Each structure stands twice: as structure tokens, then as C-alpha cells.
């Protein structure tokens, strides 16, 4: 099956800083999504982005399908951005191991 790797595994930021999270996948995909799991365990869909660029407020994502990677950008980070960010690919939703983000006040 498709392999999904996320980097970095852990990221600590000061409030207000920007960050870039990366997701690499081992084969062509028709479906890629980014999720946020908050410290209480709730999972929220952030983006459906098999290719191209999307933006939603302080978050944006870019997928370069031909080079098999996707990036999630977080600008002006806030403490509420803390949690784990996952990317997942394809119809059976193969998840990466996630990036744990901690934003300090």
C-alpha cells in the first residue's frame, strides 16, 4: 500500500510564529486530506487537496501531486493551533504518523 510520511514529528513554536508541515507519499493519489486532532482528541477535517493550493484563514495547503508531497502552512500561530496534524491519502485513507505541534504563549 501507499506509504505516508510526515515531517517534522514534533514542532514547538512561540505564539505568532509561522510553520510548514510536510507530507510525502509514495505513489500517485487522487485524494489527500489534512486533519487536526486537538488535545482532547477531536478530529477536524482541514482541507481536501489532491492537487493545487487552498487557503482557509491562517491555514493554507499546497499539494504537488507530480512530486508526491503536500505542505500545510500555519501563519501567525495561536495556542489553539496546538495538537496533532495528520495527512491521509486515497480512498482507504492511509494516515501518516502526524506532526505534533505545540504553540507556547
Partner 1 sequence: NAGVTQTPKFRVLKTGQSMTLLCAQDMNHEYMYWYRQDPGMGLRLIHYSVGEGTTAKGEVPDGYNVSRLKKQNFLLGLESAAPSQTSVYFCASTLGNEQFFGPGTRLTVL
**Contact call for residue 22 and partner 1 (CB under 8 A):** no
**Contact call for residue 76 and partner 1 (CB under 8 A):** no
Exposure of 60 in the CB half-sphere (CA atoms within 13 A): 9
* Nearer of residues 28 and 31 to partner 1, judged by Cβ: 31
Q: Restricting to residues 42-71, name those near partner 1 by CB under 8 A.
A: 42-45, 48
In the complex, the smallest distance separating the C-beta of residue 41 from partner 1, rounded to whole angstroms, is 5
Cβ atoms within 10 Å, residue 92: 9
Task: Give the one residue of 1, 56, 66, 67 binding partner 1; rule: CB under 8 A.
Answer: 1
In the complex, the smallest distance separating the C-beta of residue 48 from partner 1, rounded to whole angstroms, is 4
Total chain residues near partner 1 (CB under 8 A): 20
β-pairing, 10-14 vs 99-104, is: parallel
CA dist 74 and 89 (Å) reads 20
Instruction: Output the CA–CA distances (angstroms, integers) from residue 29 to 4, 20, 50, in the order listed.
Output: 11, 21, 7
CA dist 4 and 84 (Å) reads 15
For partner 1, the binding residues (CB under 8 A) are 1, 4, 31, 33, 35, 41-45, 48, 86, 88, 92-98
Amino acid at each position: 500500500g501507499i506509504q505516508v510520511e510526515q515531517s517534522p514529528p514534533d514542532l514547538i513554536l512561540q505564539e505568532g510564529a509561522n510553520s510548514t508541515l510536510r507530507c510525502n507519499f509514495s505513489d500517485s493519489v487522487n485524494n489527500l486530506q489534512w486533519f487536526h486532532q486537538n488535545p482532547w482528541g477531536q478530529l477536524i477535517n482541514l482541507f481536501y487537496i489532491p492537487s493545487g493550493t487552498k487557503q482557509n484563514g491562517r491555514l493554507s495547503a499546497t499539494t504537488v501531486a507530480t512530486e508526491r508531497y503536500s505542505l500545510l502552512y500555519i501563519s501567525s500561530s495561536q495556542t489553539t493551533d496546538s495538537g496533532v496534524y495528520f495527512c491521509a491519502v486515497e480512498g482507504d485513507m492511509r494516515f501518516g504518523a502526524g506532526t505534533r505541534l505545540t504553540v507556547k504563549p
